[in-house]
Amino acid sequence: MATLNSVKRDAAIKHLQSEADFATAICKSLKDGQIITTNIYAELKSRVQQLWTLSLPPQIIRPIDFDHIGTSIWNHATNLIRATGSSDGVVQDGQDSVARSCVLLRAYAYLLLDLATETVSSDSQHLRLFKIGLKTARYCLAHGSPEIAMHLLEKCSIYATRFEDAQPAVNFADDGASDRRNEVNDLATELWLLRMLHSCKVMRPDLAEHFFAKVSASLSTSATLSYMAAEICYDASRSITKHGRSRDGSRWLERAFSLLDSDCIADLDRDTEDLRISVAVALVGVLLEDSDADSINRARQATDSLSSKYRLGDRLTVLRMHLTIALKQGDEDAIHHILHRAVSVTLLTDITFDIILRLIYGARKAHVQACLSSLDQLIQNRLLPDLTTAMETDELHTWLEKAAVTYTSVCTATAFTSVGEPVAMLTGLFDAIVHATQSPVSAKATHTIQTLIWNASSKSTGEDTKSWLQLLRHPLFDSAGVVNKARIGRKAINTALDCHDLDSARAAYFQMPETARDESATRYLAFKLALSMNDRQMARDCLDILMKQSSKDPKYLYACVLEAQTSNNRAMAVAAFQRLIVQPPQGVHLPALLRCTARLHIGELDQPNTPPDKVMHELLRVFDIAADNVKSFRQPGDDQYRAEMQWWSKNTYNLALRLCSEVHPEYVVRLARICARFLSGLPKDDGKVHQDDILDRRRICHFLAATALTVLGRSYDDGTEQSLQYYTEIRKEVQAYTARELAKPENQSDPSTSARTLELYKFDLEAILKLQQWDTLKSALERCLQLDNIDRWDTLVDIVLIIHERASALKAPSSSTTDIPALLSKIINEVWRQDREVTKLARWIRVTFRIISTGGEDDGGLSLKLVDQAIRMAKTRQNRQTGRERYPEEELQWLATTTFNRAVDLLAQDERKEAEGWVNGALELARYADDGGLLHKHLTRNRDEAMKRLGMRGGA
């Protein structure tokens, strides 16, 4: 047993030494101003948890003065709290928040003091530790550490029990025993109050009610305890309300309010007043959430109590509560009285001034007149008088501008019976400010107020808009920038023109700064005014300035042209066009004017619900003029010529691509041909890549033209003059496309180019068919045979077959169609290589076979090659398990039988060697028939019989 006690004693000494070392290190670190890092924080937390349950053998000597070191740590933590204002810091670079660190530091300091006090029997030391424990527990509860607070409160409960014991271990001296006992009782009461707060923090309202019941009777005797209880009840309500239990929170608020309303606490300091107001604010807020009559009446009673009993009615926070209740009840008289009271009695600071403005602005929907009159009172009675005295400061000017902005915001957002009413009110206010200050408001305030008035003017029309715009030009806003003055002046001109008030429009124009008058937007409005007033000189001046500025911003020049077009003043419209196109002003050449006009029309194409065909006629007329005047593009120099040609070619090309499916095909043809003209005129010194791009675009232009011409040609009956004319034009586009200067090497051909070439060749074949130009058919077919890198060969079959049928019916020269079988054979091979539909291929093989057979000539054994191709197809597709389509049975049997009959005919002509290939082809093809070998057996028997008759069996 002695050995066991010795081991425990050694372990306790070792533990105490460890705590002493750690405490000394913490104290030194705090003294040096170091912040608690994350690692130290974790170590500190671990040691606090261990010390809660530490049990030491009696008579253990402390290695250091734990009382001194604990007191030092406590004081350092207190200084840290005061330095940081008791606010949580942000965790950065491994550092923990200040408040959370101080929670552990104070708890650790308390535990060190507790270690020092365990060997001391002094009642004063125990009482001191009791106080420190309660203070630490309250700090922990305030900063989100209810677990540590609970441990501290349990420790404090031990002291409370010790002092309340009938035979206490600590005997009080006779002197001051009563005061000491009262002090202990107060500490015990504080203990139960903190237990109550802890119960609320951990959402145990039943325990909270129990602890409050233990101390409620003793609170009325002490103002300090009553204040403390009220403060703790207020904290308890906040904790409960955070968990969504506002009704339970209101009960604690009522208790706090009742405690503060007791007689013993009436004459405490300013902190009590602040707490009383805070509790009232929270209570009124909770009560008004219910919106029932009883809750509103109770809220009114609470606020009235502050005003009548405690003379706090003029405090701004109390007035705000009165206003909230009045707004809830819709009491306009009360709203008016409260707002004017707040304006009259409040000492103005930055904070109170902003609060007053928010109060007034918040009441605008309930009682706008009270809101406006209060703002007027604030400006006229509180702010402007001080501007004429020595009290004038920058702060005062800032307040005045804020109030003026708020007044303007309310006026412009309120629906009055007429616009004249708010305009008159604002004019009177602005006049008063200018009279008092003798200067305009700042640029920032000017911008804000003018924006509000500008927005209001945007919601009105006619004369009302003119009134708002007149207000925008008040002397109060002389600090406005030239840009804003220009915008206001232009809107004034525009509004006057809409109202047909030409004199006002002219006056507004000449009131603008000179630099603003020469802006393009202003000159455009002046041009409109000149058209309305038939002032030709003014119109010419505007056009001269706009032409000079057209390189930077041409849209207003276009607008003037459009305005001249739509104007009822025909003479002015004609003069504008003559000046713009026939006689351009000095410094501006025809291409620029044409560009401006073209841009105008292109802009019309971008407008919604605008039929493009309506615009295309005029736009193409401009393009035609430009194309006919290309020589004039060279006058400024090569660089300008290149830029002009690039602009015209780019825009015509983009429009052709964009509108090819939207406008009439006639316009597409004209646009594509004009584009080709511009492209052909581009300089050829920009490198090979650039030239290749130009050639590609020229080919695409010819392709688009041919496509549109094909649509036009198909829209008329065959043989009509219009149809034949369009097909003739198609052939011209094909010839241009295939010209040597546009030729593209085969190795540079891409799939898209090849696809366009194929389509164009199909159009050419269609044109040859419609025009019956059989003498050119052979060369067209040869071009098709030379095509490569084509994906849709199958699209060429129908037109080729139709041409063969029509040529045969019209008895066209046989030499023109000799390449049709070869072309069909190539199509079949290319389509089969792409693994297309075998049924379609089989049909094409049959048709081609018949064409060759009926033609009487077999160029190079093409028929037999078709049979070989069919054999390969049938062999490839013979396996059903692949899931792929087999060679059609009817087609296979027809081709095998026809091939065999061809062999029989050759045998009959004694062409035995040639017949052998046909016989073998027929038998090989029959091998893949889906008839169980019947066709192959039948043809073999027939072959044997034919050989026997001819005496050739042995050779076979």
Do 19 and 12 touch, CB atoms closer than 8 A? no
Decide if pLDDT at 567 tops 60: yes
Q: Is the pLDDT of residue 579 over 60?
A: no
Q: Give the rounded percent of residues in the chain with a pLDDT score beyond 90.
A: 7
Phi, psi for 317 (deg, rounded to 5):
-65, -40
Task: Kindly state the helix (H) or strand (E) to which residue 483 belongs, with its residue range.
Answer: helix 482-498
Question: Distance between CA atoms of 41 and 30, rounded to whole angstroms?
Answer: 13
Confidence of residue 532 (pLDDT cuts 50, 70, 90): confident
Residue 663 has pLDDT above 70, yes or no: yes
Determine the average pLDDT of the residues in 282-293: 77
Written as six digits, the tokens of 450 are: 């003018």
Band of the pLDDT at 87, cuts 50, 70, 90?
Answer: very low
Tens digit of each residue's pLDDT (9 = 90 or more) over 227-239: 888 888 888 888 8
Q: Which pLDDT score, from 0 to 100, does residue 169 have? A: 46
- The residue type of 341 is R
SS (H, E, C) 58-103: CCCCCCCCHHHHHHHHHHHHHHHHHHHCCCCCCCCCCECCHHHHHH
Q: Which residues contact 708 (CB under 8 A, 6 or more apart)?
A: 660, 665, 666, 668, 669, 672
Candidate from 562-571, 791-800, 912-921 with smallest mean pLDDT: 562-571
Q: Are 238 and 279 in contact (CB under 8 A)?
A: no
**Which of 211-215, 380-384, 520-524 is the least confident region?**
211-215
Across 286-383, the runs of DSSP E, i.e. the strands, are: none
Mind listing the pLDDT tens digit for each residue in 626-638? 888 887 777 656 7
Give the three-state DSSP class for 457.
Answer: helix
Which residues, listed in sequence order, are joined to residue 95 by a DSSP beta bridge?
37
Residue 296 and residue 286: Cα distance in Å, rounded?
10
State the average pLDDT for the chain: 80
Task: Check residues 875 and 208 and name the one with the higher pLDDT.
Answer: 875
**What are residue 37's DSSP bridge partners?**
95
Q: Provide CB contacts within 8 A for 532, sequence distance 6+.
A: 497, 502
pLDDT digits (tens, 9 = 90+) for 481-495: 888 888 988 998 988
> 157: which residues sit within 8 A by CB, 6+ positions away?
191
- pLDDT (average), residues 512-532: 89
The two structure tokens encoding residue 831: 């389509």
Residue 289 has which token pair?
A: 């959430």
Residue range 121-145, pLDDT digits in tens:
667 787 888 888 889 888 888 888 8
Beta carbons of 712 and 725 less than 8 angstroms apart: no
CB 30 within 8 A of CB 76: yes
The pair of three-digit structure tokens given for residue 382, joined into one six-digit string: 């509180």
Q: What pLDDT was estimated at residue 526?
A: 92
Nearest-angstrom CA–CA distance, 474 and 435:
13
- Could you identify the residue written with the tokens 């945007």? 458
pLDDT at 573 over 60: no
Q: What confidence score (pLDDT) does residue 47 get?
A: 83
**DSSP three-state, residue 956:** coil
Measured CA to CA, the distance from residue 379 to residue 390 in angstroms comes to 17
Rounded Cα–Cα distance for residues 300 and 892 (Å): 104
- Read off the pTM: 0.56
Who wins on pLDDT, 492 or 540?
A: 492
Cβ neighbours of residue 183 closer than 8 Å, sequence gap 6 or more:
127
pLDDT average, residue stretch 352-377: 90
pLDDT digits (tens, 9 = 90+) for 388-421: 664 567 788 899 999 999 999 999 888 787 788 8
What whole-number distance in Å separates Cα of residue 371 and Cα of residue 364? Answer: 6
